[in-house]
């Protein structure tokens, strides 16, 4: 079962986000290299989402993400996703 992480925007400015982005990107690349992330990116309203192969990876990411640690994401919600392929 996959896990989706949904982050709520803390309403920070683009400059504040870009100042932290290099550290966030480094973490994303670490998880990508481990094969843990299926998809990740922002919503148009300022929030964000990531899909992980396993809940443990999603939890680890949410705990370590500089966007959360430095106040750019106000909260994360983790949801288990029973991904079913439609044919």
Query: Domain of 45: which CATH number?
Result: 3.30.70.1060
In-domain check, residue 86: no
In-domain check, residue 51: yes
In-domain check, residue 29: yes
Instruction: Report the number of distinct structural domains present in the chain.
Output: 1
Hey, CA dihedral for 45, 77, 6, 18, is it positive or negative?
positive
In-domain check, residue 33: yes
5: closest CA among 84, 66, 60?
Answer: 60
Q: CA end-to-end span of the chain, whole Å?
A: 19
d(CA 60, CA 54): 10
Does residue 62 register a pLDDT over 70? Answer: yes
Per-residue pLDDT reduced to its tens digit, 5-43? 999 999 999 899 999 999 999 999 999 999 999 999 999
Question: What H or E segment, with its residue span, contains residue 50?
Answer: strand 48-52
Range of the domain at 7: 2-81
In-domain check, residue 53: yes
* Entry pTM: 0.88
In-domain check, residue 68: yes
d(CA 63, CA 72): 13
In-domain check, residue 23: yes
């Amino acid at each position: 079962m996959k896990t989706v992480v949904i982050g709520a925007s803390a309403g920070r400015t683009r400059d504040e986000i870009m100042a932290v982005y290099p550290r966030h990107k480094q973490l994303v690349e670490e998880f990508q290299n481990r094969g843990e992330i299926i998809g990740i990116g922002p919503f148009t309203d300022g929030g964000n989402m990531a899909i992980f192969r396993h809940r443990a990876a999603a939890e680890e990411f949410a705990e370590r993400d500089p966007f959360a640690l430095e106040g750019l994401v106000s909260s994360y919600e983790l949801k288990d996703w029973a991904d079913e392929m439609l044919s």
